[in-house]
Amino acid sequence: MMRREVHDMVKLMNQPRRTIPLIDGMTILFVIVAVVSGIALWVLHGPDRFASAVGDAGLLLLLVLPIVVMAVLMGAYVQRLVTPALARRWVGTESGFRGLLLATVAGTLTPGGPFAAFPLVVGLYHAGASLAVCVTYVTAWGVLGLQRVFVWEIAFFGVEFVLLRLLVSLPLPFIAGYLTLLLFRRRDRR
């Protein structure tokens, strides 16, 4: 059973990347939100306020777009250089400080969205990594993940804010890992 799951996950990881639809449910929802809130803004605050909001959004798009384009290009290369197999080799089965440290580094460097990171966690867990290591990995991928920082966060919030956020986030994967050890030690391997 477990062996089959691992096999499935390895297959999932090696699949060519899922093609992202041009327009999905979320896009449609946001078009609706934009139309409704745009009408509300026009009605409540007048056309001037509406026009300035549109202008601000356009300006922001011009500022952000070059960074997003460059960062997506960078991300495409990083994804080619750092494969899931490579990331899995870094994270061992240790769950001491060294194990958590390696999981943090791997999570920080894992490129791609949830479709790249979560199968890796399943693979790690079945390959014998402890629950604490897996939790540390997911937390590091979330709060420190460099791809998201470069594609999105720097473009929107600037380097100074990003550095502050990364600095306060450094201990978080370890805290999550040690809390897991503390609370779920006994059930760790189910």
145 CB contacts (<8 Å, ≥6 apart)?
Answer: 107, 108, 110
Scan residues 64-93 and list those touching another protein (CB under 8 A).
64-81
Question: Least distance in Å: CB of 164 to another protein?
Answer: 6
Residue 108 corresponds to which tokens in the numbers above? Answer: 């920080």
For residue 143, with 0-12 CB atoms within 10 Å meaning exposed, 13-18 middle and 19 or more buried, which class applies? buried
What is the rounded CA–CA span in Å between residue 52 and residue 30? 20
Tell the residue number behind the tokens 């290591």, with chain if given: 133
- Of 168, 167, 96, 178, residue with least CA distance to 135: 178
| Residue number with CB closer to another protein (102 or 135) | 135
Give the interface segment with another protein, choosing from 83-91, 92-100, 101-109, 110-118 (CB under 8 A).
Answer: 110-118
**First CA to last CA across the chain, in angstroms?**
15
Give the interface segment with another protein, choosing from 44-52, 90-98, 99-107 (CB under 8 A).
Answer: 44-52
What is the rounded CA–CA span in Å between residue 50 and residue 39? 9
| Residue number with CB closer to another protein (49 or 98) | 49
Give the interface segment with another protein, choosing from 88-96, 97-105, 113-121 (CB under 8 A).
Answer: 113-121
101 binds another protein (CB under 8 A): no
| Residue number with CB closer to another protein (10 or 68) | 68
13 binds another protein (CB under 8 A): no
Scan residues 122-181 and list those touching another protein (CB under 8 A).
122, 125, 131, 134-135, 138-139, 142-143, 145, 148, 150-159, 161, 164-165, 167-169, 171-172, 175-176, 179-180
- Asked if 153 contacts 123 with a C-beta cutoff of 8 angstroms, the reply is no
**Residue type present at position 146:** L
Question: Least distance in Å: CB of 102 to another protein?
Answer: 18
Q: Judged by CB under 8 A, which of 121, 129, 130, 133 binds another protein? A: 121
